[in-house]
Each structure stands twice: as structure tokens, then as C-alpha cells.
Structure 1
Amino acid sequence: MEIEVRHARIVEMINATGSLSKAAMKIGIPQPSLSAQLRRIEKAVGGSLFVRSRSGVTPTPLGERVIPMLAALAEQADAVIAEAAVDTSSTLRFGTAEWTPPTLRGALRSMLPNIDMRTETILPADAVDTVQRGALGAAMVSSMDSIVPIELSDRDLAKATIVRDPVWLALPVRHPLADHSVLSASQLEGLWWIGYARQHWFSPVERHLLDGLGQRDRSVSHYAGGYHEAMSWVRHVGAAALTPLTGATSDVRVVPLADTHYTELTLVWHKDAMSSGTARQLVEVIRRYYYQYAWSFPGYRSWLGALTDVPSEVPDPSRLVTADSSPGF
């Protein structure tokens, strides 16, 4: 007997449930039939995949090696089926928070030329709900661990991390601290701050980070409704503001903090809107776009080079950055 995709799905379900009876119930076949199929599968692979006991089943040493391979086979088959089901002339409504740069839309349309890409700027707090309701097929969502997590309660939604986005200090270009390579907490004393309005997703992140930097009693000049408003105030009134790189603009200077924290940029999509293969393509093109944007900031490349845990997905800058490339986010 040759191993087929349906066999991989059976083994994957047994492993996931830890029980032959539960797996049979989920697959929708009688348990004796499932047990018989498992015996044929084990004969085909040359040994037992599970140890049976009263409490359920657990993988054998052979199973520990083979089951992940079978699970990968099932996943690849799902991706092929889903990709084949995507209508190449369909419309994909794609949301980004606060501001959608035309260059990002151009990159997305170049990557998926046969899909009518409709971009839409949305409120960060509404991103997941908008995708869940089907008003958008996919959206970029920002989050930070337990402070502002992404919670997907709908099984029809999926997510994938695009990048970890460092939170730095935004300053006017001519500010005395603007040329520093890195800033310590003590150097933040005495600054005037631009904060973020309570309804903005970044507000609790900002409070958490500044409290940790000893700036609980900071002087706040203005509470902005978004990143670009905050950057405008930084530029015009000489104040400082925390911002992830995706919130910074080219007319301010962003300086790394000694204890850098990260937000995460995540792609959330509805499984009915696009396949996992298309989602992977989206993640890749947005990731490359992000790093091209990040490298347009002075000092980013040297800061990244000093890290001991550079993310594995960081591309080669020589293939991304050109003299006139400074896309916005």
C-alpha cells in the first residue's frame, strides 16, 4: 500500500486528539474502521506509530519521526487545494492601519497581478473584527505580547507574523539627542512628550514602556490620535514620542533605546478570502517592503548589525536598498 494524503490526515488527527475514538468521531467513521486503516498505514511505514493504552495513544519513537512528516504532507496538500480554488480574477480587500502608502499598494499588486487588490485604511482596533466580518479579506495588525495581544476566536481566521518592529524614540532632526547611536533611560529626563490618545492601540504600550523607563510623571504636550499626527508635533514643537518604525516619518529622527522593546506586525486573513500560499506570499512581500523602509532610517542597519539575535527572516540589504528608495509606511 502506498501512503496517500488521506492516510496522513488520519495519522494527524489521531495524534492531535490522542485517542482513536475521538479521532474516529472527528473524521466521521466507525472506530473499528479507523483502527483497521491505522494498521494498514503502520504496515506501509514498517512499524507502529502509536502506543495504545487505556488513557489513549502516544507516538512511538518511529511515530515521533514520521508523524511530523505526514502532518507536513497534509498541510502541503491543503495549500495546493486552496491555491487551486482561488479565483485568479477575484478581488482581495486588504486593510492597513492608519495610513496606506501608495508604494505598498503597488508592491502588493505587482506580487499578485491577477488579483484585483483593493486597499483600505482602517482603525487598528477594528482590524481583526473587520476581517472576521468579511468586510476585508486580510489586514495588517500591530500588537505587543500580553499588553495588546491579537486574539482570534474565529476558526475561519488565521495569522502569521511579518516582522518584529522596534519601538524607538522620535525626536526633531536638530534635537541635541538626535545624533546619539543609542539612548539610555537617564537621558530621557526632562523631555517634553507627545503621547497617544487613549483610544489608539499604541497608548497602553506607550504607557507600559515609559513607566518602565522611569517616565511615569512625564510632561505631555499633546495626545495625538495617530502616528503621523504625533510625528508632526515632534517636528514642530520639539517634543519627543515613542514610535515603532512603521509609525515614524522621514522628517524626524528615530533613535534606538538601550532596552529596545518590540511590537509585532501580523498578517490576519480570512481563510475563505485567500489560500495559505497566497498569505505566505503576502507576508514575504510586506516583510521585504518593511526592511526596505527600515533601512531608509539612518543608523538602522548599524543597530541591526549590533544585535546578537538578528531575526532569521531579515533579507540581504544589498538586494533591497537603493539610493532613492525611501517608501513610507
Structure 2
Amino acid sequence: MQLELRHLEAVCRIAEAGSLGRAASRLGVSQPALSAQLRRIERVVGGELFVRGRHGVEPTALGQFVLARARRVLSEMEELTAGARAVAPGTPLRLGCILLVLLDGLLEQIERELAGREITVDVEHSVTALARLLGSGRYDAVLYGEVNDHEVPLPEGVLARTLIPREPFCVRLPADHPLAARAEVELADLAEEPWMTLLEDDDGGPEALVAACARAGFTPSLRYRITDRKMHWDLIAAGRAVSVSQPTAPAAEGTVLRPLAGSPITGRIRLAWNRAAVPAAQAELLYRAAGRAYLAQLDNNPFHRAWWDAHPELHPDLG
């Protein structure tokens, strides 16, 4: 048997996972199959690559030697693939997103940063689907959000960078709501309201809303889940619901946006890309485009502009 890239990948995944069981799960194979493959690899290289330690499997001296070179080979292959995709004629950059506010200006910014490069952009309503499609090669990069402490699991071979580390979600109310005149709203004062649930149900948002309401002393009545933005706003304007929102969201007739006291729900925005398909330079350009698209929405709401200016440590590094 000769060593192949898949064998090097298996050795690296075992080292990263710290156990054969976790590595097998990440590779999508059974643990017995991975154990048998490791034994075949060890026969080729001439000795044991891992031994059981106090915290799982640990590489031997031979294992450290093989790992260092395996990582170098895999990195060079990823650079080769990414470089080939970048220069191949007629190869579009495939970007997947959830329905973030910054999408309204993202295409304009991408056209400036990656002038002349063909780009396709698709919107999904599931962060889990985005991550899965990134791993399967359907997308080259994805832009997504996470709420509070939730972290979206990403597939192997993917790099990620946080664009906006934290933004305090606000609440959208009917313009004639009794609380609309306040500068900020206490979550507890919304205990009797019907709620519009968040569009994504796997980014930690629903759990964060329920947990925040529980801390405020009530269980929210989750009445509607509407993916159409205009219908969403129309229902709120009609007094039929309230909803949490990104603080950069635009104005909508018949509604107002108000910050929630104490920022009980926060979000962050991240960019992830397949390192075998997107060179580092292009990932940097995508990051800049998304960052500038976000900044272009800051003045939609004066309360968020004031908050943002008071937190320069959260600003994206746009060079």
C-alpha cells in the first residue's frame, strides 16, 4: 500500500480529535474502519503513530514526524486547489448567506472589492444547511450569524473569521405601541405580547429569546414565523406581534425599533470559507466587502450608531 492524501487526512484528524471515536465521527466512518486504516498506515511508515494517554490518544515521536509533514502536504494541496479555482476562467465564487441586514448592500461592496469576478449569492434560512453545503462544496464561502453563546459547528477544511463580535439585538414594535415612546424597552414589559420568532431556528436565536424572557420572568408567546420581510413588518405594524431584530435593520412604515435594556440578546456575524477553494487574499476581500456593507447600515438607527461609536474594540479590521 502507498500513502494517499486520505491517509494523511485521517492521521491529522486523529491528532486533532484526540480520540479515534471523535475522529471517526468527523470523517464520517466507523471507529473499527478508522482503526483498521490506522494499522495499515502504521505498517507502511514502520511503527506506531499514536499511543493512549491520560487525555486520549497522543502522537508518538514517529507520529509527530508524520504529522508535521502530512500537514505541510495537505496545506500545499489546499493552496494548489484554491489557486487553480482563483485563476480558472469562468469559475464563479459561490457565496451562501442567511438573511442578514448587511445583504442589502453586500453585492455592491463585493463588486467593488472583487471587480470582474463572477459571483453567485444564495440565501438560506438555516445556518446548519449553510455549513453542510459549505462542507459539500456547494458554496465556497458563507456569511452567517450566531446568537448569544451559540457556536455553529463547521465542517473540516473550513476557516472562519468573525466580522462583528457583538451587536445588541433590539425590538421592533408597532409605531402606536405604548412602549414606542420610550428610549429603551425592558423585556419584562413585553410579557403579554405575541412574538414573531426569528427566521433562523438553528443559530441559537430561539433559545436565546426564550432564555432571556425566562430571566425577565415570563415565557414568550411565539405566534408567527414569517420569512417574507415585508409581511413580517406588516404584521408588526398592524399590532399583531413584536419581534427582536438586528440593530442595523431599516425603518419600516408603521413600526419603530427600540433597544432592549441591558442587551439581553446579542448576535455576531461570521464569514467562513473552504480553504481549498478560496485563497486567503480573496477571503480578505470578502471580509472587507461584508464589513463595509455592515458599516453602511449603521445610521439606520441613531441608538445603534451611538452604541457602536462607544465600542471601537468591536469594529472590523478593514485595513
TM-score range, shorter chain: 0.5 to 0.7
1:11-22 alignment, distance < 5 Å: 21-22=62-63
- Structure 2 residue aligned with 1:255: 258
- Structure 2 residue aligned with 1:182: 184
Residue identity matched to 1:152:
L
Q: Give a deviation string over 1:117-164, Cα, whole Å, max 9, x none.
A: 111111223110111111111111211354x3211241x111111112
- Separation in 2, partners of 1:300, 1:232: 23
SS in 2 for 1:177: helix
Q: Give a deviation string over 1:165-213, Cα, whole Å, max 9, x none.
A: 3211111233332242222234334434323479564322322222222
Greater RCO, CA 8 A, separation 6+: 2
Mapped pair 1:27 → 2:68: yes
- Separation in 2, partners of 1:314, 1:178: 31
Q: Retained in 1: the 8 A contact 2:81–2:277?
A: no
Residue identity matched to 1:130:
L
SS in 1 for 2:196: strand
Identity score, percent: 16
Mapped pair 1:281 → 2:285: yes
For the structure 1 residues 231 and 166, does the alpha-carbon distance in structure 2 shift closer, same or farther, using more than 3 Å as the test?
Answer: farther
Mapped pair 1:170 → 2:172: yes
Q: RMSD value over aligned CA atoms?
A: 3.4
* Structure 1 residue 315 displacement after superposition: 8.0
For the structure 1 residues 231 and 207, does the alpha-carbon distance in structure 2 shift closer, same or farther, using more than 3 Å as the test?
Answer: farther
SS in 2 for 1:264: strand
Mind listing any 5+ residue stretches in structure 1 that lack a counterpart? 1-15, 30-74, 317-329
- Separation in 2, partners of 1:195, 1:270: 31
For the structure 1 residues 227 and 276, does the alpha-carbon distance in structure 2 shift closer, same or farther, using more than 3 Å as the test?
Answer: farther
- Structure 1 residue aligned with 2:207: 204
* Structure 1 residue 267 displacement after superposition: 0.8
Mind listing any 5+ residue stretches in structure 2 that lack a counterpart? 1-15, 17-57
For the structure 1 residues 78 and 168, does the alpha-carbon distance in structure 2 shift closer, same or farther, using more than 3 Å as the test?
Answer: farther
- Structure 1 residue aligned with 2:40: none
For the structure 1 residues 238 and 205, does the alpha-carbon distance in structure 2 shift closer, same or farther, using more than 3 Å as the test?
Answer: same
Match of 2:235 among 233, 236, 246: 233
- Separation in 2, partners of 1:137, 1:198: 21
- Structure 1 residue aligned with 2:137: 134
Q: Give a deviation string over 1:90-132, Cα, whole Å, max 9, x none.
A: 3101111147856321221221013101111112231101111
SS in 1 for 2:305: helix
- Separation in 1, partners of 2:298, 2:78: 31
In terms of Rg, which structure is larger? Answer: 1
Q: Retained in 2: the 8 A contact 1:172–1:178?
A: yes
SS in 2 for 1:295: helix
Mapped pair 1:161 → 2:202: no
- Structure 2 residue aligned with 1:290: 294
Q: Retained in 1: the 8 A contact 2:188–2:218?
A: no
Residue identity matched to 1:135:
R
- Separation in 2, partners of 1:296, 1:78: 44
- TM-score, normalization: structure 2? 0.65
- Separation in 2, partners of 1:18, 1:129: 30
- Separation in 1, partners of 2:120, 2:298: 25
- Separation in 1, partners of 2:198, 2:104: 25
Q: Retained in 1: the 8 A contact 2:250–2:300?
A: no
Q: Retained in 1: the 8 A contact 2:103–2:293?
A: no
Residue identity matched to 1:24:
F
* Structure 1 residue 79 displacement after superposition: 11
SS in 1 for 2:296: helix
Equivalenced residues, count = 248
